Amino acid sequence: MGSEGPRFFWGDKPEEEEFYASQGVKNRQAFHQTPYGRLFTQSFHPINRETGSEIPIKGVVFMTHGYGSDTGWLFQSIAIAYANWGYAAYCADLLGHGRSDGIRCYMGDFEAVAGASLHFFLSVRRDPVYADLPAFLFGESMGGAATLMMYLLSPPDTWTGLILSAPLFMMPEDMKPSRIRLFLFGLLLGFADTWQAMPDKKMVRMSIRDPDRLRIIASNPRRYAGPPRVGTMRELARICEYLQKSFPKVTVPFLAVHGTDDGVTDPEGTKMMYEKAESKDKSLILYEGFYHSLIQGESPENSQRVLNDMREWIDERAKRYGNGVTKIVQVDGLVTANDDGVTN
């Protein structure tokens, strides 16, 4: 690895196409224009490792990363896992993150941030290729807040279910922005909104327990490492209150998972959602002693435990709500398949 760090989260070699093929997935990258700005997007489809051809999928998962992160580094390992389970996974860098438009890590209008990703996700969801398949929203950390916002902004019956990993619904007391500081900056009539002037809480170190994974995440060249912006912290504090009031509006099946030793997002907020949501099919799993980043930041053994729980949940819901539909998506068009995976 060079002095500037590795080219990819897995190192300098192999090249992307070879790496993804070795993982059993086909990766595609593109930009998507939304009313709020342009997003960098990725998709991951399962392939036959011997032939390289795409194989039937059970459903589609739309994934959103957390604060300061992007879809192009270790987060995509989650998408690869879901693709290996038989799902097409679609991801988008949030506005202000990664290779998407916007001031780095500035989220002065969270509805616009969520709305941009939702614009892309709906464009895929409404494609005839996926219209009859079960479709899930997945969100990690702040991406969990964005995911719930996308659900609330979506037309009824758009989504089969939600998967939320350590979602930001409530901040621990020592992570909350100072109301006095926000008030004083507010006296500047918006001029300070994009300033990197809020105390840095060292969220990455508080999120990652495995030191080897911490080194990988810290080497991400697109990770935002500056102090939080005034408008971002103001907006995140507001959105937590808004989502808490909106929990009773949640009626879709969901799985929420959280570590009990999470110092970045408070597991009490996730418990509150579980208690107040009107969903008839809802699941909550708390992992004793786990930190914030359940999949990217724990030991391989702990991360696999979380992934196994997610796989059991989504496979059951895809089977329960999917009506046995399977499809093959080819690069050059659509080829339907019956329930045995035999192409027509």
Can the peptide bond before residue 248 be classed as cis, meaning omega within 30 degrees of 0? no
Does the annotation count 292 as an active-site position? yes
User: How far does CA 311 lie from the centroid of its chain?
Assistant: 16
List 141, 207, 246, 293, catalytic entry: 141
Does the annotation count 32 as an active-site position? no
Residue with tokens 């998962």: 61
Residue with tokens 């693709």: 83
Residues 268, 227: Cα–Cα separation, whole Å: 26
List 65, 262, 266, 303, catalytic entry: 262
**Which of 165, 217, 167, 209 is CA-nearest to residue 300?**
209
**Which of 138, 152, 23, 48 is CA-nearest to residue 89?**
138
- Phi, psi for 283 (deg, rounded to 5): -135, 140
Q: How many CB atoms lie within 10 A of CB 208?
A: 22
Cα angle vertex 205, ends 165, 176, to 5°?
70
List 93, 292, 293, 303, catalytic entry: 292
Does the annotation count 3 as an active-site position? no
Catalytic site residues?
Answer: 141, 262, 292
